[in-house]
Chain A
Amino acid sequence: MIDKFIKIQSSAVPMPIENVDTDQIIPARFLKAVERKGFGDNLFRDWRYTSGNTPNPEFVMNKPEFSGSILVGGKNFGSGSSREHAAWAIYDAGFKVVVSSFFADIFKGNALNNGLLPVQVSPEFLDEIFATISKDSKSTFTVDLEKQIFTNDATGNSFEFEINAYKKVCLLNGYDDIDYLVAMKEQIAEFETK
């Protein structure tokens, strides 16, 4: 079971970098756990901490003015490996939504399977979000999954985002695919005999 996705309103953490890859989101050396716990601490590890393991004051997550459950990334977010740890780390660090103008496929699927909503907006709308945050880091945004609308509360502009209808139902209700598939076992067994 995943948590149900409820409509959220929050400030956002901006990361206007393109091609943020899964090795940056969670470096490989942190993939050694055998449980799904504690990945949030190592989210963006090599950007977030200096080589001496102290927080890097330049990194956005370490700046006190930025907070919230929405992460806003540059184009082609989540490229690279299939490690689901990337989605776990972002979720575990307290984010519920990732916004970008373009997502890598596997990352998008992994996010959806873990209650993390990827919201794809137009490049122009993304620029506007970044501009709003840089004007006032406390600006809020509203994500309405039911209506599929992402609103920039400061400007009042909104963007209607797409999501697969089945995945939407799953997220809203906290269902997951495994329940669905396990319930289909007989049909799967029958398919095997064809």
Chain B
Amino acid sequence: MEAKTLFDKIWDAHVVKQVEGGPNVLYIDRHFIHEVTSPVAFLGLKNRGLKVFRPAQTTATPDHNVPTENQHLSIVDEMSRNQVEMLRRNCEEHGITHYGLGNDGHGVVHIIGPEQGLTQPGMTIVCGDSHTSTHGAFGAVAFGIGTSEVEMVLASQCIMQPKPKKMLITVNGELKPNVTAKDIVLYIIAKISTSGGTGHFIEFAGTAFEQLTMEGRMTVCNMSIECGARGGLIAPDEKTIEYVKGRQFAPKGEDWDKAVAYWKTLKTDEGAEFDMAYNFDAADIEPMITYGTNPGMGIKISENIPTSEGLVGNDKVSFLKSLEYMGFNEGEAIAGKPIDYVFLGSCTNGRIEDFRTFANYVKGKKKADNVVAWLVPGSVAVEKQIREEGLVEILEAAGFELRQPGCSACLAMNPDKVPAGKYAVSTTNRNFEGRQGPGARTLLASPLVAAACAITGKVTNPSDL
């Protein structure tokens, strides 16, 4: 039998048809939708007179637009309210499960999927959102799609996709103290650039990923697309199975045993070939931060911002434009730079483990006066757990308060916007110009680094304290 990669096994099992000279018709097991990228798809269905083909396989939640305060009140922004309302109506009309505001299942779409057990190994999972790659942490083929494709899934439970190429990224060795999943992935993107993964699906392998919790693996897969890849995945193991077990939509009884037996076959065969492979040493990684306007512009906090030396033409222009936007100079140290905002949250780092890390660090300390901090749980379930574990008291004693779940300042579609020119250390995934508000300057980092910065009011390496 031909040796196959994990990705091949899942992909090939979902091909309904190979179109001649064209893409695969790929069957989708699980579809998530949110309020921003779905309305036009539903409109398209209506215009064609179609019904949703398999409503039970789609799950909805509004997350991008929602305020993170006073969620029991009506949303103030009219257009946001309209989108959120539209999602509810579309779901009602088509019989789709909808976790609306105020519902226990509500949260950022990529956080609630795994929480509810909707995300399982071996599945194909799509959503009109690029960070759908998060679900790859379970050994699923999960990727973001456009609105036309959302319409395809609603209409037929399939999309048309050429099969991507395969990339293997291996990280072996011992991680240094204070190095987290976020640092690993920022390090990888800095090494291979924001376009290094284009056209590929990445499998992450090696002891560094094996040691991570499921939360950490989700952080890594979440950001796999920031190097241009379609998605990333990690082979399921005992931790994966343990995480899924007993969750609301996890298989039960005999079905569970069957599922587990299948999941155990989901690994890359010996000798299977990848189109591209990278190998990194875990011991090289340190706490990371970005200094520029794409996620590939990351450095160790202990390093200086690079210089434009050796860059020519458009590369140089783009680099300098980026530094100008950020208000940084070439070659200077990033550590010690004053900051104004800290954002903990998003589908990258809005899970319970992230809040534990943050709380654990700030315990017994005080937030710097010059810092405004937004702590936004990824879901209602995360928020509940934060309260149950007594983390709120720790956070409040240190001068922080907890907000309500949503995407929030990750893309600033709701009122949580970082003002122009201000610096935000953010646990999110994108530092593009204006991502956190027009003119906002974003420095991506781990929850641990964000905590250290929130306490000192400047860019701080947690290992230095």
Contacts and interface: CB of A to CB of B under 8 A. Distances in A.
Interface of A: 16-19, 21, 23-24, 27-29, 31-36, 46, 51, 74-76, 79-85, 87, 102, 104-106, 109-110, 113-114, 127, 164-167, 176-178, 180-182, 184-185, 187-188, 191-192
Interface in B403-450: 411-413, 420, 430, 432-435, 438-439
Nearest to A33: B79
Contacts of A34: 39-40, 43, 82-83, 86
14 contacts: A18-B314, A23-B433, A35-B40, A36-B40, A74-B318, A82-B146, A84-B146, A85-B147, A104-B198, A105-B230, A106-B130, A113-B149, A182-B156, A184-B156
B148 A31 contact: no
Contacts of B439: 51
B71 interface: no
Interface residues of B, number: 71
Determine which residue in A17, A29, A31, A81 has the highest number of CB atoms from chain B within 10 A of its CB, and name it: A81
B203 interface: no
Contacts of A167: 22
Contacts of A75: 195, 314
A180 B159 CA distance: 10
Interface string B15-56: 011011111010100000000110110011000101001000
A181 B82 contact: no
Contacts of A17: 314, 317-318, 321
Nearest to B36: A31
Contacts of B80: 32
B25 A27 contact: no
A167 B21 CA distance: 9
B128 interface: yes
Contact of A109 (B17, B146, B158): B146
Given A19-B318, A28-B411, A164 B434 contact: no
B148 A176 contact: yes
Contacts of A104: 195, 198, 228
A164 B314 contact: no
B336 interface: no
B145 interface: yes
Determine which residue in B20, B228, B314, B413 has the highest number of CB atoms from chain A within 10 A of its CB, and name it: B314
The 7 tightest CB contacts between A and B, nearest first, are: A166-B22, A165-B21, A84-B146, A32-B79, A82-B144, A34-B39, A181-B156
Contacts of A102: 195, 198
A79 B294 contact: yes
Determine which residue in A32, A51, A185 has the highest number of CB atoms from chain B within 10 A of its CB, and name it: A32
A28 B156 contact: no
Contact of B432 (A21, A31, A182): A21
A32 B77 CA distance: 10
Interface string B193-219: 011001100000000000000000000
B259 interface: no
Contacts of A82: 37, 128-130, 132, 144-146
A192 B157 CA distance: 10
B169 interface: no
A132 to B, nearest CB: 16
Contacts of A76: 194-195, 198, 228
A80 B433 contact: no
Contact of A18 (B164, B228, B315): B315
A113 B148 contact: yes
A166 B25 CA distance: 12
A178 B228 CA distance: 26
Contact of B433 (A46, A110, A164, A180): A46
